[in-house]
Structure 1
Amino acid sequence: MVNEGVQDFHAKMAALAAEFAQHLVNDIQQLRKLVENADEPGIPDILARVHKLAGSSLTFGYQALGDQLRRIEQDLQEGELHWPSLQQRILALQVPETPVSSHLPKSLEEASDQRKEISREAKRSLIYFLATDNQDFSKLLMQLQGYNYEVMSCLKVDELYKKCRDHQPDAIVLSVAMNDKQGHVMQQQVQELRGICSSPILLCSPYQEFSIKLMALRAGVQGFFDRSISVISLDARLEHLLDQHSDPWRVLLVDDDESILEYYLQVLQAAGLNVRVESDPERVLSTMQQFQPDVLVFDLNMPACRGDELAAIIRLDDTWLHVPIIYLSSEINLERQLAAQTLAGDEFLTKPIDLSMLTGIIRVRAKRSRQLSQMLIRDGLTGLLTHTEIKERLSQELVRVSRNGGQCCVAMLDIDWFKKVVTAHPPYG
């Protein structure tokens, strides 16, 4: 049975498509009038209109019309289209009654389920831990419990297999004394586990040679640590693999085309992302301060301020260096794409794009963004917030309390002889 969320999404997209169809007819008529009522109007104005129509037509499934407009745009950019020929080709444009293709997600049910999963409160993840090399990881396991993990230790491989068959964990951590000769044993264990469950497998080993890591990678291991593994680094890897965030990835979309903004807003929200849209580049910086996006997605060709110019302005502030910038544009000129990424940007995607690929790329970039952000705001030794971040969060809280008319209390602990404390009680398992 199709759930209500999917039905609602279909209804919104159908209404959006119908509204676009009406605007498309008017936009084509205006473009025709522009070339009919002038001897030779400004080519830049025509090029901007053709570019915008090409991208939106392809996005909403008008493939033939979009291809025609894109060819006109390309010829204009290359200076190969003279005025009489341009008039003839634009006047010959025809809008089909209905789009001939659709770029809606193939599995809306999965998108809806994903959204419900993300909105659910983060659960206490179950970790199975097996040490076959007689190493004592009791302190590390105790620390993991303090990081909101449920940890179950296994003494033998067969015991681990049985536990996985009875109840699949969120992740498995193996500690093995593996060298080149013993690597096949590890591979067999991982393959056996892969046949039982699909949980991520992490490996601890005293051997750090490239050949050992390659063997582990080919076996299906998704994390590799040495014996001095700290709870901070293990938690960071588990968080990355398990996607343990109570709040979804935050995406800021910027495009001057309102219909395109609404289209991608609905699609990305259906995929479980937290999305804000902005059509005015001048408001982007203030929106970023309020929204704190994980990923920025910009159109390239905007009239008031190009997407690459906006990206360059953002890169002037080191605060946002960790936030990836993705261009989502109908620009097909490779030189312009490269120039935009060279100026400021991390990836260039061309409209129309497979929506599962778009959401996948955004998720990957968002994960890296949050991971890097956490590294920047936390001390590498203790995992606690840095002095600068504490002051920033305190300032934000004071502003919030002042706005709401409440009260604020701050407790600070100052540990004397901190170096001796860390030496006596190192944050390692």
Structure 2
Amino acid sequence: MASGKNESFRERKQRLRQSFVAQFPERLAQARELLARLRSGSDQREALERLHLVLHTLKGSGASFGFDAINAPAKAAEHALRGVLDQDARVTDRLILALEQALGALEGLDLALELPAAPESWPRFEIPARHAVEGDTRERRQRLVYLCDDDPIIAQELSGQLSCFGYQIIPFVTLDSLRQAFRRERPSAIIMDVIFPEGQDAGPTAIAALNAGIDQPVPCIFMSSRDDFSARLRAVQSGGNAYCPKPVKAVELAEILDQLTNPGATEPFHILIVDDDPDVAQFFSMVLEEAGMVTRVANEPARVPGALDGFNADLVLMDLYMPNCSGPDLARVLRQMPGHLSLPIIYVSAETNLDRQFKALEVGADGFLTKPLEPARLVAEVHLRAERMRILRSLMIRDGLTGLFNHNTILQLLDVALASCRRNQTSLCMAMIDVDHFKSVNDTHGHPAGDQVLRALGRTLRLRLREVDLVGRYGGEEFAIILVGVDAVHAKEIMDELRADFAEVSFFADDVEFHCAFSGGIAAYPQFTSASALVDAADRALYQAKRAGRNRVEIATTTAELADAPPSEPMGGHAREGLNSKASSSGVEMRDEH
């Protein structure tokens, strides 16, 4: 980490420590006032709870900022108060004496003397490497791939098909031309034949020579009509990352390229920090942001629902004891709110009693971290739980076969996108597409081949559309696409381009080559004002495309003009029930298509 950034972190932490020192006398004065109320006998229960909160906060905050002298007296006083609160016992002279002694010890501290003369060293920690989520369209469009095969027909045909998946493919038919291009610009990956006129292993030899002169080898996929062990061994020894026997399937090759050229960057974790002590909350925020996370802070429990709105939090880090609303109470509130039932909640508290920790976890929290908390452990714990949440959330909202959003999720996202368009007065299009003659693909080539088609179409949509566009598998062979900020004419141009490219992709089943196409229907907002109207109109326009001969895209005009399309036709998709269908190996029903 750069020294400037290190200094920034140290300086900010030093300011937080100084802020704690400045507020320390005021907090002790507040504790004195509450102790006086206990002596007077007025509102003792409230005074007990508030005094416990003050001392608990002092203990946790002091420990977080390295003021160890605070811990013993604050802990003793907090323990005495907790015993009375748990047993609902009366205030005794013994309790008053214990509190007097603790406060006296705290008041005798000079925290300014404990501030370090020089900023402490940066707490070093590393975030475990994470894999990127597929679908970063911008990055993939920039990825250059060289393909070298001495057969010009194979080189051109395979390059054309791979370009449909969002890669920039440059074909070469000689090793020398590849070498010259490599010296001018290094690609993200190379697809290389094994056999060339120069020799049986000329391809692997050329790759070994190219990688020998650079620090970071370029990923390489070998392809060959040879499938013997010696050919594969030579490819591995030359630095090959994958080996594809010919005829090469473009879909499988695209999957390998996805893995090899994955950039490794993901959306940073979003963490909401809830703590009534602003300095501690800012300290945690500072540590997590230095580790590359995005944070939002709420110092009052009542502000948490609003803070979560639009933040897309991966995890909530909250204090256990807060005024008017404890951590467990806040956890119960969140668990009763739609959308937050599975949101991970981690308590961070100076509470060390295991029974009270367990009771706090019973309301639906996911973990407990005890102050003081070293920055490295804070980052590791938050990262681990947030990453687990990302994985679980992805499994819940995505289709298992294609990796796209599932049926329910894409409909929810349509509602959200539509609401945003209303607020911002922007346009939106809903496209429904359906693979033509898909039943015959399953019947002729088998369900694994059908699944290969669906995966390829899903990948084509995901990689070719913009990052702001949303793609889901609506059911069977039908897909739903939300195109933001475009009108119907532009949407049709986009879908027609995708349709033409997808029709060029070759699929193989038992060495038999076949092609597929899709039809589409488009409905636009604000012409259709509700989510249900958009879906219904797009589906009916899809039926019109099927009826007009398939392999085409139609735009929904008005409800009246679409009224002639019978809703029971099996070609439209989502509302068609009682159809003859067969289950694909993915477990999703495939519609019969006439």
Same fold (TM over 0.5): yes
Structure 1 or 2: larger helix share?
1
- Pairwise CA distance, 1:413: 1.3
- Pairwise CA distance, 1:291: 0.5
What is aligned with 1:426? Answer: 451
What is aligned with 1:99? Answer: 114
Aligned 8 A contact 1:54 1:69 in 2: yes
**Equivalent of residue 54 in structure 1, options 50, 59, 64:** 59
Change in 2 beyond 3 A, CA 1:397/1:74: same
- Pairwise CA distance, 1:273: 1.0
Count, aligned residues = 364
SS at 2:123 equivalent: coil
Change in 2 beyond 3 A, CA 1:410/1:372: same
Between the aligned partners of 1:315 and 1:232, the Cα distance in structure 2 is 39
- Pairwise CA distance, 1:67: 3.1
Q: TM-score, normalised by structure 2?
A: 0.51
**Equivalent of residue 359 in structure 2, options 336, 339, 348:** 339
SS at 1:343 equivalent: coil
Letter in 2 for 1:30: Q
Between the aligned partners of 2:384 and 2:20, the Cα distance in structure 1 is 31
Aligned 8 A contact 2:357 2:368 in 1: yes
**Equivalent of residue 85 in structure 1, options 83, 98, 102:** 98
Q: TM-score, normalised by structure 1?
A: 0.69
SS at 1:414 equivalent: strand
Aligned 8 A contact 1:16 1:259 in 2: yes
Letter in 1 for 2:55: V
Over residues 177-201 of structure 1, what are the superposed CA-to-partner deviations in whole Å (9 max), with x where a residue is unaligned?
A: xxxxxxxxx9xxx9x99xx9xxxxx
Over residues 205-262 of structure 1, what are the superposed CA-to-partner deviations in whole Å (9 max), with x where a residue is unaligned?
A: xxxxxxxxxxxxxxxxxxxxxxxx99889969997xx7531x3111111112222222
Q: Does 1:24 align with 2:24?
A: yes
Q: Does 1:68 align with 2:116?
A: no
What is aligned with 1:199? Answer: none
Between the aligned partners of 2:329 and 2:256, the Cα distance in structure 1 is 37
Gaps of 5+ in 2: 85-91, 128-137, 146-157, 169-187, 195-200, 223-232, 244-251, 457-594
SS at 1:320 equivalent: coil
**Which shifted more, 99-108 or 14-23?**
99-108
Change in 2 beyond 3 A, CA 1:164/1:351: farther
What is aligned with 2:8? Answer: 8
Q: Does 1:244 align with 2:259?
A: no
Aligned 8 A contact 2:52 2:81 in 1: yes
Between the aligned partners of 1:16 and 1:412, the Cα distance in structure 2 is 54
Between the aligned partners of 2:144 and 2:343, the Cα distance in structure 1 is 31
Between the aligned partners of 2:311 and 2:14, the Cα distance in structure 1 is 29
Aligned 8 A contact 1:104 1:355 in 2: no
Aligned 8 A contact 1:60 1:103 in 2: no
Change in 2 beyond 3 A, CA 1:16/1:258: same
Structure 1 or 2: larger strand share?
2
Letter in 2 for 1:90: L
Between the aligned partners of 1:377 and 1:164, the Cα distance in structure 2 is 44
- Pairwise CA distance, 1:312: 2.8
What is the root-mean-square deviation in Å for CA atoms of aligned residues?
4.5
Aligned 8 A contact 2:190 2:220 in 1: no
Between the aligned partners of 1:70 and 1:234, the Cα distance in structure 2 is 58
**Equivalent of residue 388 in structure 1, options 408, 412, 417:** 408
Between the aligned partners of 1:231 and 1:52, the Cα distance in structure 2 is 55
Gaps of 5+ in 1: 112-120, 128-138, 175-185, 197-201, 205-228
Aligned 8 A contact 2:314 2:390 in 1: yes
Change in 2 beyond 3 A, CA 1:402/1:417: same
Between the aligned partners of 1:233 and 1:24, the Cα distance in structure 2 is 59
SS at 1:392 equivalent: helix
Change in 2 beyond 3 A, CA 1:379/1:287: same
- Pairwise CA distance, 1:408: 2.0
What is aligned with 1:215? Answer: none
SS at 2:428 equivalent: coil
Over residues 135-191 of structure 1, what are the superposed CA-to-partner deviations in whole Å (9 max), with x where a residue is unaligned?
A: xxxx9xx889947794446879996798498443699999xxxxxxxxxxx9xxx9x
Between the aligned partners of 2:330 and 2:165, the Cα distance in structure 1 is 43
- Pairwise CA distance, 1:35: 2.8
Between the aligned partners of 2:333 and 2:210, the Cα distance in structure 1 is 56
| Structure with max Cα Rg | 2
**Which shifted more, 59-68 or 349-358?**
59-68
Structure with greater contact order relative to length (CA < 8 Å, sep ≥ 6) = 1
Letter in 1 for 2:81: L
Aligned 8 A contact 2:21 2:111 in 1: no
Between the aligned partners of 1:145 and 1:330, the Cα distance in structure 2 is 56
Between the aligned partners of 1:153 and 1:376, the Cα distance in structure 2 is 35
SS at 2:362 equivalent: helix
Aligned 8 A contact 2:50 2:323 in 1: no
